[in-house]
Structure 1
Amino acid sequence: MKKTSEPERPIRVAVYIRVSSEEQAERGDSIRDQKERGIRYIKEHTNMVLQDIYLDDGVSGQKIDRDDFTRLMNRVKEGQIDLIIFTKLDRWFRSLRHYLNTQAVLEKYNAAWTAIDQPYFDTSTPYGRAFVAQSMTWAELEAQNGGIRVSDVFKTKVEHGEVITGKVPRGYQIMNKRMILSEEAPAIYDGIMHFLKHHSMNQSVQYLKDKYGICMTPQNFRQSLLRNEKLTGRYRGNETYCPRLLSDEDFNKIQHILDQNHNIKSSQKYPYLFSGLVICRECESKMGGCQINVLSKRKDGTTIRYKYPAYECKQSHTKKACLNHGEIRETRLEEYLLNYVRTEFNSYIASFQAKEKQTADHRMEKKQICKKLERLKDLYLNEAITLEEFKKEKARLEEYLSSLTSPPPTTQDLESLKSILSAGFETMYSKLNHEQKRRFWRSIIKEIKISKSSLRHREYTVVFL
């Protein structure tokens, strides 16, 4: 009896759409055209089924990191795609190196591609691959020339004091294509002056949040404000690009502080156990590491110099601006914590257990938000909403998605803390090397505040994570 052959599995086809911002301004229907032609191509082939539509809007072909392109390649690696279609080769990308790297991935996972408006591209033969590579070289050259033209336009805009992007530093806003000071400017200035006084980004960020309700990360505070030349009114050679928020003197002082802090971190030889954790309670600035030199006489009459790691308030030592004089030896601080931490551990575990019960698991909610993002993209593709509505709602959903807390930590972490106590915390700690001790304290302590109530007596306040 003759065997009946199994029906062939349909080809799973992904439609990839990309439009750069310049083209989007010129041809508002280009996304619709690409989508319709892709779907029509699949319908004309009875052995094909639509896997999904991938859209990158307002993204350059030379840019490697594209949201939906990355998602598309992940589906390829998962074996969900047999064929990728797009209208023209330059929709795929304009970088030869990116093309060659991507082509290697596609060949590894048995996925092919077709430019439906350019059917003469064929990657199944050596001649075809050479032809594609040559075409990519010219496409890359065209994209780079386009980049030069855009750079010339940006240069002209800056010379006339016009913004070249919609993103401006906090404390500024855009009016008539120019940067002007916003209502936030006095608060931002106050926060920067707070940093200039206390030399602490974390404190300054917390100060802005507590006093003005302005939330920033230390990294954003540093890069978008403290290191931003626009705050002096200058930008790319234009000395009067925008209104000045900071004087040159203050800006230069800030750069010196940031550079000095960087040099201290990069050149620090001794790894202080509590560096970055010790806070002066008198002036709320961080206490830096230092070395105490002690001379001791031997029995034979000679002297030997000993060095002990310690911490001191830099505001007191260098500027005489704080009354918290003197140093605190690292060994004394470590001894205090070893005697104090067992009680705090029990409190920490109790707090950990309470938080574990209260923390909501938002996995289902995150899944629903992801589905909403997919539906939002379909609405945009079907022209039910405008590009501005799409971007605004997408940003809102992504912001809400990132705000959802992660699932509660497993009880494994809690059990490890309990085992530390039951096994004898002090014994365990004595067996750690110096670097392990550093990591240990940083895993449980947020900060150690030190005040000086008398010439010889100090008070400690330990804040645990």
Structure 2
Amino acid sequence: MKRVQESEKLLRVAVYIRVSSDEQAERGDSIRDQKERGIKYIEEHKNMILQDVYLDDGVSGQKLDRDDFTRLINHVKEGLVDLIIFTKLDRWFRSLRHYLNTQTILEKYNAAWTAIDQPFFDTSTPYGRAFVAQSMTWAELEAQNGGLRVADVFRTKVTHGEVITGKVPRGYEIIDKHLVLSEEAPAIRDTILYFLKHQSMNGAVQYLKETYGIVMTLQNFKQSVLRNEKITGHYRENEAYCPRMISDEAFLDIQRILDQKSNIKSSQKYPYIFTGLLVCDECGHKMGGCQINAVSKRKDGTVLRYKYPAYECKQHRSYRKCSNRGKIREVRIEEYLLKNVGKQFDSFIADFETKSRDAVDNRMKKNQLRRKISRLKDLYLNEAISLEEYKNDRAGLEAQLEQLPDITPPVGNPGTLISMQNTGFESMYLHLDNQQKRLFWRSVIKEIRLKRCSGSHREYTIIFL
């Protein structure tokens, strides 16, 4: 590709901006600086018009997965971009492999690029392409060496007992760049010993909350405390990195217990039929699978033990945040659905037939969302909003844009339900295994909401797809 010369053709130019750290801003390579110089470059060429500004902030040049870079490449493929400009080659890439792969795409769709501070790059000749490739090799080497320097700095910090991140285990705090025990340390240590004794994470988390008023999720307690080697005072190769909370032997026992629990869970064979479908109508959270243990005694004195698959509200069991206590057996849910789902189908189909079947055109609304995203970027580039505000608001708008189809079809389609009614789904259902039953219900039902009434009675609300 030849460097763009003045011509009669009006080129649609994309300004690409990338900043990976505050250090680049200190060197005069800030977002505002890159944007102003890119726009000035376009204004100095009569055959150029700004197509859009593409911004990736806080992203390494060695990464190909960048939000606005991906958007830029998609626009190239759509034929919306003739020329891409950036200040320096290292703003574009620091990985030779990524550069070559992207260059192939640009050549396929007749898009060129220019580094406005390095006009000697020319990809229209073999010598020019070789020169660019060689430059990319050195840029990649510099980036990798930078990563090695960071690793060396971290290694030195750990050797001297200094923290390398602001994230610390519960029960510790940072003072003068070192980890020390916090006021919560005695409570955390007591809860760890409680777990060792009872081997129950649910019980330990509940004990921590009721005894000390400290609330932690199961996952946080497991990963931040029980799995964290810092509670032994060790970290990486430093055996005295921070104050010890428990002994090495106790830590090893904890890991053994956790590994055993993990193996039991991963080896679980029973496929719960309604996993992901049941929702607690009290708190709105998903209900999880569990077991009901039962014992019966024969006349001859033989004791029989049974385990029945069931479901319960985890918010009640783990945190007591929901009043929907108790378990409901899986077979009871099946019985209810097989008995009542036909009536539910009839109601759903009748309701569907009363609704409008007109399709809705959402293209104007999607264009409005795109304009909002563009205005949001302008606000950030002009420093009217912070980076965090920009990213959060953009993520929300892009999520709306992604979920909104160009055309919304008529409400629902009961064809699947009608066909199952006609084929006698009840007799067919009896021949399915649990995996097939799960697929069956998921093909017609979005969720089943369970509300606890008096005693063991449950009220069902079925929401169809």
TM range (shorter): 0.5 to 0.7
What pairs with 1:414-453 in structure 2 (closer than 5 Å)? 416-417=416-417, 420=420, 423-432=423-432, 434-440=434-440
CA distance in 2, matches of 1:24, 1:434: 58
Residue number in structure 2 paired with 1:298: none
Residue number in structure 1 paired with 2:91: 91
SS at match of 2:386: helix
The AA in structure 1 aligned to 2:260 is Q
Q: 1:392 to 1:334 in 2, by over 3 A?
A: closer
Following superposition, the deviation at residue 13 of structure 1 comes to 0.7
Write out per-residue CA displacement over residues 429-460 of structure 1, whole angstroms, 9 at most, x where no aligned residue.
235455322434576678999xxx9xxxxx79
Residue number in structure 2 paired with 1:393: 389
Q: 1:184 to 1:160 in 2, by over 3 A?
A: same
Residue number in structure 1 paired with 2:48: 48
CA distance in 2, matches of 1:139, 1:74: 25
Work out whether residues 61 and 95 of structure 2, in 8 Å CA contact, stay in contact via their aligned partners in 1: yes
Residue number in structure 1 paired with 2:39: 39
Q: Are 1:11 and 2:11 matched, yes or no?
A: yes
The AA in structure 2 aligned to 1:105 is I
Q: Count the aligned residue pairs.
A: 398
Q: 1:414 to 1:262 in 2, by over 3 A?
A: farther
What pairs with 1:80-159 in structure 2 (closer than 5 Å)? 80-159=80-159
Work out whether residues 56 and 69 of structure 2, in 8 Å CA contact, stay in contact via their aligned partners in 1: yes
CA distance in 2, matches of 1:312, 1:433: 15
What pairs with 1:49-448 in structure 2 (closer than 5 Å)? 49-168=49-168, 176-178=176-178, 198=200, 227-230=227-230, 233-239=233-239, 241=241, 252=252, 255-264=255-264, 267=267, 270=269, 272-274=271-273, 287=290, 311=308, 336-342=332-338, 345=341, 371=371, 373-382=373-382, 384-385=383-384, 390-397=386-393, 411-412=411-412, 416-417=416-417, 420=420, 423-432=423-432, 434-440=434-440
Q: CA RMSD in A?
A: 5.5
CA distance in 1, matches of 2:73, 2:48: 19
CA distance in 2, matches of 1:187, 1:132: 60
Following superposition, the deviation at residue 259 of structure 1 comes to 2.9
Q: 1:84 to 1:366 in 2, by over 3 A?
A: same
CA distance in 2, matches of 1:221, 1:109: 52
Following superposition, the deviation at residue 142 of structure 1 comes to 1.1
TM-score, normalised on structure 2? 0.64
SS at match of 1:412: coil
CA distance in 2, matches of 1:81, 1:249: 63
Q: 1:146 to 1:29 in 2, by over 3 A?
A: closer
Work out whether residues 445 and 462 of structure 1, in 8 Å CA contact, stay in contact via their aligned partners in 2: no
Write out per-residue CA displacement over residues 338-390 of structure 1, whole angstroms, 9 at most, x where no aligned residue.
32223564679989989xx9xxxx999998776555434323433x44xxx52
CA distance in 2, matches of 1:402, 1:188: 41
Write out per-residue CA displacement over residues 163-211 of structure 1, whole angstroms, 9 at most, x where no aligned residue.
333455677665654556789989989998789754569x979x98xx9
SS at match of 1:17: strand
Q: 1:250 to 1:106 in 2, by over 3 A?
A: farther
Following superposition, the deviation at residue 95 of structure 1 comes to 0.7
CA distance in 2, matches of 1:179, 1:349: 64
CA distance in 2, matches of 1:32, 1:144: 27
Work out whether residues 83 and 114 of structure 2, in 8 Å CA contact, stay in contact via their aligned partners in 1: yes
Q: 1:243 to 1:397 in 2, by over 3 A?
A: farther
Work out whether residues 95 and 139 of structure 1, in 8 Å CA contact, stay in contact via their aligned partners in 2: yes
Write out per-residue CA displacement over residues 222-263 of structure 1, whole angstroms, 9 at most, x where no aligned residue.
655654444555432344545667776675455445433543
Write out per-residue CA displacement over residues 87-126 of structure 1, whole angstroms, 9 at most, x where no aligned residue.
1111111111111111122122221111112222222222
**Structure 1: runs of 5 or more not aligned:** 1-6, 291-308, 314-332, 454-458
Q: 1:60 to 1:404 in 2, by over 3 A?
A: closer
CA distance in 2, matches of 1:64, 1:133: 17
Following superposition, the deviation at residue 149 of structure 1 comes to 0.8
Following superposition, the deviation at residue 48 of structure 1 comes to 0.8
CA distance in 1, matches of 2:167, 2:441: 39
Work out whether residues 169 and 224 of structure 1, in 8 Å CA contact, stay in contact via their aligned partners in 2: yes
Work out whether residues 200 and 285 of structure 1, in 8 Å CA contact, stay in contact via their aligned partners in 2: no
Residue number in structure 1 paired with 2:316: none
Work out whether residues 369 and 397 of structure 2, in 8 Å CA contact, stay in contact via their aligned partners in 1: yes
SS at match of 2:137: helix
Following superposition, the deviation at residue 140 of structure 1 comes to 0.9
Work out whether residues 90 and 139 of structure 1, in 8 Å CA contact, stay in contact via their aligned partners in 2: yes
Following superposition, the deviation at residue 127 of structure 1 comes to 2.4
CA distance in 2, matches of 1:180, 1:376: 42
CA distance in 1, matches of 2:254, 2:459: 30
CA distance in 1, matches of 2:330, 2:416: 22
The AA in structure 1 aligned to 2:335 is N
Following superposition, the deviation at residue 59 of structure 1 comes to 2.1
Following superposition, the deviation at residue 49 of structure 1 comes to 0.7
CA distance in 1, matches of 2:368, 2:262: 43
Q: 1:390 to 1:100 in 2, by over 3 A?
A: same
Following superposition, the deviation at residue 18 of structure 1 comes to 1.5
Write out per-residue CA displacement over residues 143-163 of structure 1, whole angstroms, 9 at most, x where no aligned residue.
111111111112222334433
SS at match of 2:165: coil
Amino-acid identity (%): 58
CA distance in 1, matches of 2:249, 2:275: 27
CA distance in 2, matches of 1:175, 1:239: 19
CA distance in 2, matches of 1:213, 1:350: 48
The AA in structure 1 aligned to 2:139 is A
Q: 1:33 to 1:446 in 2, by over 3 A?
A: same
Following superposition, the deviation at residue 137 of structure 1 comes to 1.1
CA distance in 1, matches of 2:422, 2:440: 17
